[in-house]
Amino acid sequence: MIEGLAPAKVNLALAVVGRRADGYHELVSVFARLDLADRMTVEVAGNAPDRLTVAGGGYSPSGLDLVLSAAMLLREHAGRPLPSLVFALEKRIPVAAGLGGGSSDAATALELAAAAWDIDLSAGERLDLAARLGSDVPFFAARTAAALVEGRGERIRALPAPTGGAAALLVTSESGLSTAEVFRVFDDGVAPGAGSPAAATTARELAAALEAGLDADAFAGWAPRLRDANDLWPAAVGLLPELAALRATLEERLRRPVLLSGSGPTLVALYPSLLEAQAGGRQLTELRGARITVTVLGNGQHREAR
């Protein structure tokens, strides 16, 4: 049996800077890996079709497709007969939440399948296959703690995580959001002012600061700028109006800026330590209609085998 972790991510800034001829959007975003992670195992199982079992929470059909598609894609890449695989997935990352759970599961499935079949992928091959699976998958396949992500997600510039144990308090509405629907609303112009240069500037300046070295206190100090550095916020609120009220409640109770991760609906408060994030979480014990998670920014390591 081979076992691995599929970590979540947060978007610390997300700018939509254009739309390509193929329909994908051009993005400039800073991703950070979290210690919050799904757990996956894989075993070789003869000649039956590849299959996946899921426990521990909801799972979207698209996420299911991504895990099995990763095995299918790697089998095609190998160009030779390979035995079937049985994946078992324990879900811990909320689904349709802007945390990249399905994409991370796909990246981990790709890696574990390669190990099970004894296929040695170069870094370039791994990233190419990841890009064919989905826009967020290359970040997870790159095995980096953070990154400046551009294009539709295929251009990755590795960045270090803040030093000193920066943490995040995640509040995920029980109402999920479809990334495709959020971009549809964005494209329809329901999001006034979206796509301004400010978010892209903030993303690039944060990337430079991380590259130069940021401790956890200085990193948390970026939150006021990052709060409004997600071009998808108006579109997400257009689809889920209660998201604006939830953010207002969180900012009143936590007394700090609250960000949107990805296309939402997960809201994020940044802290310089896990203890402070846990204290923040205790202020939300009476909050209804949302899942509360406290985690730390990860170090980029996400695989273990036995």
Active-site residues, by number, are 9, 136
Instruction: Give 288: exposed, middle or buried? Use CB within 10 Å, 0-12, 13-18, 19+.
Output: exposed
Q: Which two tokens stand for residue 60?
A: 């979207």
**CA pair distance 262, 249, nearest whole angstrom:** 20
Alpha helices in 156-232 (DSSP H): 179-187, 197-212, 216-220, 223-226
Query: Phi and psi of 140, rounded to 5°?
Result: -70, -35
Q: Which residues pair with 29 in a beta bridge?
A: 14, 149
Given a contact cutoff of 8 angstroms between Cβ atoms, the answer to whether 171 and 290 are in contact is yes
**CA pair distance 20, 143, nearest whole angstrom:** 27
Closest CA to 297 of 172, 205, 162: 162
Residues 6+ apart with CB under 8 A from 200: 15, 17, 28
